[in-house]
Amino acid sequence: MSQSPISQSPMSQFPTPTTERPGTPVPGAVDPNDRADPTADPTAGTAAADVAATFCAALVDEWGRLGVTDAVVSPGSRSTPLALALADSAAVRVHVVHDERSGAFTALGLGVATRRPALLLCTSGTAAANFHPAVVEAHQAAVPMVVVTADRPPELQGVGAPQTIDQRHLFGSAVRWYCEPGPAAADGAPWWRDLARDSLRRSLGTTPGPVHLNLAFREPLVGTAGTLPPPGTDGGAGADATAVGASGAAWGLVDEELGQTLAAVSNRRGLIVAGARTAVTAADADAVLALADTLGWPVLADAPSGCRRTHPRVVTTADVLLRHDGFAAAHRPEFVLRLGALHSSRVLGEWLARSGAVQVGIDRHGLVPDPDHVLSWSRPADPAEVCRQLAGARTEPAPAEWTRAWADAEATARRTLDEALGAGGVATEPTTALDALAAVPADGVLVVSSSMPVRDLEWFAPARDDVRVVANRGANGIDGVTSTAVGVALTWTPTVLLTGDVAFLHDTNALIGLRRRGVPLVIVVVDNDGGGIFSFLPQADALEPERFEQLFGTPHGLDVAAVAEAHGVAAERVTSRAGLRAAINGALTRGGVRVVAVTSDRSANVAVHRELFSRVAVALDELVTAADPAAGGVNGGGFGNVADR
Ligand SMILES: Cc1ncc(C[n+]2csc(CCOP(=O)(O)OP(=O)(O)O)c2C)c(N)n1
Ligand SMILES: [Mg+2]
């Protein structure tokens, strides 16, 4: 990657690090805290502050010109020049978030929702370190983000100056680009806009992600912006703003690869496995489903894939089906086209790893997951474009019985689940996932936390064509989930968050000032007083109940509704499905933020899941035996490890 002149790290400017203890006077040396004071010329400081203000105004102007719309700013002094420039901008909305960790996840949510990088700004010191979890998630989930940490100038580094830590390369390999241009100097003005532009472009490459600018500011920090350097002549708002929203591979396979792939997929028992990032637009999903139609291949569509739509080839029950040994054994594929991120079903992943099929991976960001080392090859390419290429060529479809068997199984499992989950008025964890999805208004977003919520949705929920499902599955953290949903809702898209109680309590700082933001956000907390997912793991059987509760169940005994109310957020608790639906719909109609806690019990939840799996197993048993009497044999809804945790 080429670097603009301003991006060269001016490390030579830094003084040789001192080995003196901070605060130890060095004979003849100037007190480091005084060095920031240009005492020789009383107007020099003001002039420098004006240069810094102009530098920041130029950055913000350029970011705004290129399509950036949102900045998340945490309070602090050292970041003053950029905070003021952002606040003065007409193009960029500023969202102030006290806690930097929450602020960073808010920026992540904005980036996920808009596919444009949000700016993220904090002061120097540990404030910057609090950005790290969200930066890692952005890195691994390919979410664009421009992270700006304010820093002390070079002469205050390594000398024990207050609120100063080593911020160089703070986020390690999690950023696409790191740059420390040093304190702004007037003669650098020709490159100021380049810095803003470079940061955007690097966060929006084929693999989008976070970039980190560590900007040093000298006191005094309040200056007046002067004339900005003129913008370049290469487009600006129109041209570049479009580019800002269109990152990732736009291409398909080259001819030779396409030819080989066509030969491999023709007349095969094939599957399309769609994870997050597969379809960005409805047209992308149409392309995937059109290929499925052409080849007669089922599409095992994860909830965040964008492909879990009402369509005869879409399979919404893959995890549940594959828990049935008879079904799993009788429906092994020969070829698997894996699109986007990893499908969240572990059962599916393990089955594919054992399948012996030829498997290929395509991801628009080149982040093709292959934890089982089973892919024959993978490409950074647009999944929709690859599907269009394959559908447009001459290929033989799969044998008709392959297509029919999957469709019959999906219909059987779907009918069984719909019947089982349709009955009864008490809210369970699976019914809550279904009701939360059903309540999202058309074109709204459902955000799900990485514990049972994401799984209940994947295992049990039917297709929904007009709702986008978002989950932080880059690193599967339960931190920052509410803040991520706040970021999504800051785009004024009706948003429902389905989260666990531990994840909710992990991120209560997202609730600070939330009511005043006025965003359309309903937070449904499945409250089972601890980590319910662990009850499905071998530890639950292997350990004494007391030890299990201490280390995994981890009950907290808090009333999550009261916690919300303590933050000024209206909250209620429900136990019935009717109550839940009324609460979500009422909140969405009224607008604003509301927390709805749904009471659950971790042990009862295990039983609820077992019952659902075994009901589907019985229904499938009949189906498989009817189709092939020799292939009978049920695993009784086997329920091994479900997940990462
Ligand atoms: C930041 C982070 N810390 C810890 C974990 C491990 N972890 C995964 S799920 C979980 C419990 C989540 O509990 P809750 O949010 O109540 O959801 P439930 O399991 O009850 O559905 C924990 C601690 C993680 N994934 N991320
Ligand atoms: Mg829980």
DSSP output for 303-371: GGGS---S-TTEES-HHHHHTSHHHHHHT--SEEEEESS--S-HHHHHHHHHS--EEEEEETTS----T
User: Does ligand 1 have an atom closer than 6 angstroms to the CB of 503?
Assistant: yes
If you take atom 7 of ligand 1, which residue's CA is the nearest one?
645
233 Cβ contact list (under 8 Å, min separation 6): none
Ligand 2 (single-atom ion) residues, CB below 5 Å: 500-501, 528, 532
Do 152 and 15 lie in a common domain? yes
Give CA separation, 287 vs 226, 281, 304, 385, 488, in Å. 51, 10, 17, 8, 26
How much is the pLDDT for 3? 37
In this structure, is residue 453 part of a structural domain? yes
User: Does ligand 1 have an atom closer than 6 angstroms to the CB of 531?
Assistant: yes
Do 352 and 477 lie in a common domain? no
Do 263 and 299 lie in a common domain? yes
Do 480 and 542 lie in a common domain? yes
Per-residue pLDDT tens over the stretch 63-117: 999 999 999 999 999 999 999 999 999 999 999 999 999 999 999 999 999 999 9
In this structure, is residue 203 part of a structural domain? yes
Do 130 and 217 lie in a common domain? yes
User: Does ligand 1 have an atom closer than 6 angstroms to the CB of 326?
Assistant: no
Do 60 and 165 lie in a common domain? yes
- The CATH number given to whatever domain includes residue 365 is 3.40.50.1220
Single out the residue of 408, 412, 430, 413 nearest to residue 421, CA to CA: 430
- The CATH number given to whatever domain includes residue 83 is 3.40.50.970
Q: How many of the other CB atoms lie within 10 Å of CB of 401?
A: 12
User: Does ligand 1 have an atom closer than 6 angstroms to the CB of 645?
Assistant: yes
87 Cβ contact list (under 8 Å, min separation 6): 73, 94
User: Does ligand 1 have an atom closer than 6 angstroms to the CB of 502?
Assistant: yes
User: Does ligand 1 have an atom closer than 6 angstroms to the CB of 501?
Assistant: yes
Range of the domain at 450: 424-600
Å from CA of 532 to ligand 2 middle: 5
In this structure, is residue 609 part of a structural domain? no
Give CA separation, 246 vs 115, 144, 231, 232, 453, in Å. 8, 11, 22, 21, 30
Are the CB atoms for 44 and 220 separated by under 8 Å? no
* Ligand number nearest to the C-alpha of 430: 1
User: Does ligand 1 have an atom closer than 6 angstroms to the CB of 452?
Assistant: yes
Do 206 and 160 lie in a common domain? yes
Pairing of β 177-179 and β 299-301: unpaired
Kindly give the number of the ligand 1 atom that is closest to the alpha carbon of 499. Answer: 15
In this structure, is residue 639 part of a structural domain? no
Per-residue pLDDT tens over the stretch 6-62: 333 333 333 333 333 333 333 333 333 344 444 445 556 779 999 999 999 999 999
Do 363 and 428 lie in a common domain? no
Per-residue pLDDT tens over the stretch 189-236: 999 999 999 999 999 989 999 999 999 999 999 999 999 999 987 655
Å from CA of 144 to ligand 2 middle: 30
The structure's pTM equals 0.91
Which residue is listed with tokens 């968050």? 497
Per-residue pLDDT tens over the stretch 506-536: 999 999 999 999 999 999 999 999 999 999 9
In this structure, is residue 29 part of a structural domain? no
Are the CB atoms for 637 and 613 separated by under 8 Å? yes
Of 563, 579, 600, which closes a domain?
A: 600
Å from CA of 472 to ligand 1 middle: 12
Ramachandran region, residue 285 (left: φ > 0; alpha: ψ -120 to 50; beta: rest): alpha
Q: What percent of the chain has pLDDT over 90?
A: 84
How much is the pLDDT for 349? 98
If you take atom 6 of ligand 1, which residue's CA is the nearest one?
645
In this structure, is residue 466 part of a structural domain? yes
Kindly give the number of the ligand 1 atom that is closest to the alpha carbon of 644. Answer: 8
- Across the range 291-314, mean pLDDT stands at 98
User: Does ligand 1 have an atom closer than 6 angstroms to the CB of 457?
Assistant: no
How much is the pLDDT for 45? 73
How much is the pLDDT for 9? 33
If you take atom 23 of ligand 1, which residue's CA is the nearest one?
531
Which residue is listed with tokens 């599955």? 473
Å from CA of 530 to ligand 2 middle: 4
User: Does ligand 1 have an atom closer than 6 angstroms to the CB of 500?
Assistant: yes
Do 471 and 596 lie in a common domain? yes
Residue 610 has pLDDT above 60, yes or no: yes
Å from CA of 451 to ligand 1 middle: 6
Do 447 and 595 lie in a common domain? yes
User: Does ligand 1 have an atom closer than 6 angstroms to the CB of 527?
Assistant: no
User: Does ligand 1 have an atom closer than 6 angstroms to the CB of 476?
Assistant: yes
Do 214 and 264 lie in a common domain? no
- Across the range 541-553, mean pLDDT stands at 97
**Pocket test residue of 447, 481, 502 for ligand 1, highest count of atoms within 8 A of CB:** 502
User: Long-range contacts of range 638-641, CB-CB < 8 Å, 24 or more positions apart?
Assistant: 638/323, 638/325, 638/613, 639/323, 639/536, 639/609, 639/610, 639/613, 640/347, 641/346, 641/536, 641/537, 641/538
Give CA separation, 402 vs 268, 271, 295, 356, 408, in Å. 9, 10, 11, 17, 10
Distance CA 468, CA 465 (A): 8
How many structural domains compose the chain? Answer: 3
Do 397 and 428 lie in a common domain? no
